[in-house]
Amino acid sequence: MQRQRYVSDASDKKKGGFQFVIPPKVQENRDALNVYLQTMERLQEAYDALRDLKIPGEDARFVLPNAAATNLTMTVNLRALLDFYAKRRKGSGAQWEIANFAEEIRRIVVEQEPWLAPYFEESKKK
């Protein structure tokens, strides 16, 4: 996982500030989207102000929202992966964000190792 402690989310950096996820329900509602984007902008300004005051990144990041994006690297065995997928796939009742994550993991794994596709299908039946 990308650790926010070591990655600067300042707006003057290459990526232009912290990256964030916009929930689908917010994206679909113009007024909600405006509120959301204004809030993200204010949070970026707060983060930048703290960093300008020489507050370390690991402390300044506390103003960043749950929606702040991160990178993830993981190692998992097949049994644990299939168990995770069965519990978090779309249609399992999992929240949309984790369900999308589970489906993306399945897509990547099957793309790399096509012989695993039937195992993911079997985990949907459980």
Does the global pTM surpass 0.95?
Answer: no
User: How does pLDDT run across 30-54, given as a tens digit for each residue?
Assistant: 999 999 999 999 999 999 999 999 9
Q: How far apart are CA 124 and CA 82, in angstroms?
A: 9
Structural domain harbouring 106: 78-124
Question: Final residue of a domain: which of 32, 55, 73?
Answer: 73
Give the pLDDT score at 4.
43
Query: Is 80 exceeded by the pLDDT of residue 2?
Result: no
Known active-site residue 30: no
As for how many domains the chain has, the answer is 2
Q: Which two tokens stand for residue 117?
A: 């596709």
Alpha carbon of residue 81 to chain centroid: 18
- Point out the catalytic residue in the list 51, 61, 88, 89: 88
As a whole number, the mean pLDDT across the chain is: 86
For residues 34 and 93, membership in a common domain is answered with no
